[in-house]
Structure 1
Amino acid sequence: MKFLPRAATFAAVTFCAGALANAATLNLAPLPQQAQQVQATVQTASAQAQNVLPSQQVPAPQAAVEQQGSDEATATTEYASLSDAVAAQQDAAAALDDDRELRCLATGVYYEARSEPLSGQLAVADVILNRSTSGRFPGSVCSVITQKGQFSFVRGGKLPTPPANAQWRRALAVAQVARKNLWESPAEGALYFHARYVGASAGRTVATVGNHIFYR
């Protein structure tokens, strides 16, 4: 009766030892193969990473490129001289069809300064524009020109029609330069002007250009 329990115990111990040995064999045998697979995966990833060119960049969105081109196109054009700025206003005549303010400004330049140098004509145009934004005169160019008692060439509140000659085309181009602010005014801030032979100015003299004295 004592032999049987001992035999059973020995058999159980032997079975467990064999199971452990088999388990150890099963767990350890695949390790070299698994390590080789991991190493192969790492090498593949490294090769793919080396094929990526660092210099490749994502193209800029088309909208950003178009916006940059638009900004460059709208940049203010610089001219070497006032004559160049005036000569560049080829579209001035076409703008008259639907731009009454431009016609009024050019008419004022023509009748007040058509025999003056370009700088003198520009100064007259700037006086008219300065008045329209000063708050002390009417708020539009045409209203400034037709204001009673201000410009002698105006009759009954109506503007005469200038002849379509070279002087008119030049006055029109000067008006465009003044309105677009393409050239610095030689009489900055002036609100009045008169011919030199009239006498002393009633205000502070800003500049003398051609045959006119400009003041505030």
Structure 2
Amino acid sequence: MKLEWILWLASLLPQPFADRTCLATTIYLEARSEPTLGQQAVAEVALRRWQSGRWGDTVCAVVNARGQFAPGIVSKNYRMKNVRAWNKAWEIAGASMRNWSLPATERKLIVPDAEHFYAQDIVTPQWSSHRLVAVIGGHSFIHIP
């Protein structure tokens, strides 16, 4: 399925399905080859950004913000072909959103305070020198005060 179709579908879906679709798309594009913990950490970063309100008022707005996450960077013609990886991303997105709906003191956190990450084999951003929260798989998770 083409990325543009999934994002179009998300724009039509009611909440919370729209946000889950956008979060699953982000997990798929950013971390489908990463371990489950790494995929959960990517979801946590997106949800933390959403909660902060600094990047958008919906998960879809956050992950589609220009230059922030893969849905806003990857060509809209990109074809998402790995059904197994999509199904896993969908499940992780749902579980992550349920976890994030808990009171903050009850959430299971994987990368506390991290609101940025990068794939080590692709890029080393200028902001990567800030506090390293964790390295999971091929991703570094960063907190920028």
TM over 0.5, shorter chain: yes
Check conservation: 1:107, 1:162, Cα contact below 8 A: no
Going from structure 1 to structure 2, the CA distance change for 1:205 and 1:181 (only over 3 Å counts) comes to: same
Structure 2 unaligned spans of 5+? 1-12, 101-106
Structure 1 unaligned spans of 5+? 1-96
The runs of 4+ residues in structure 1 deviating greater than 4 Å are 155-161
Q: TM-score, normalised by structure 1?
A: 0.49
Secondary structure of the residue that 2:72 maps to in structure 1? coil
Which position in structure 2 is the counterpart of 1:144?
A: 62
Alpha-carbon distance in structure 1 between the residues aligned to 2:89 and 2:111 = 17
Alpha-carbon distance in structure 2 between the residues aligned to 1:120 and 1:156 = 20
Does residue 1:199 correspond to 2:124, yes or no? yes
Does residue 1:210 correspond to 2:122, yes or no? no
Question: RCO (CA 8 Å, sep 6+): is it higher in 1 or 2?
Answer: 2
Secondary structure of the residue that 1:193 maps to in structure 2? strand
Alpha-carbon distance in structure 1 between the residues aligned to 2:58 and 2:79 = 19
User: Relative to total residues, which structure has the larger strand share, 1 or 2?
Assistant: 2
Secondary structure of the residue that 1:215 maps to in structure 2? strand
User: Relative to total residues, which structure has the larger helix share, 1 or 2?
Assistant: 1
How many equivalent pairs are there?
Answer: 120
Going from structure 1 to structure 2, the CA distance change for 1:177 and 1:161 (only over 3 Å counts) comes to: farther
Match of 1:184 among 108, 133, 137: 108
Computed over aligned residues only, the root mean square deviation of the Cα atoms, in angstroms, reads: 2.6
Query: What are the residue-to-residue correspondences of 1:1-216 with 2, within 5 Å?
Result: 98=14, 99-154=17-72, 162-163=80-81, 165-181=83-99, 184-197=108-121, 198-199=123-124, 201-216=128-143
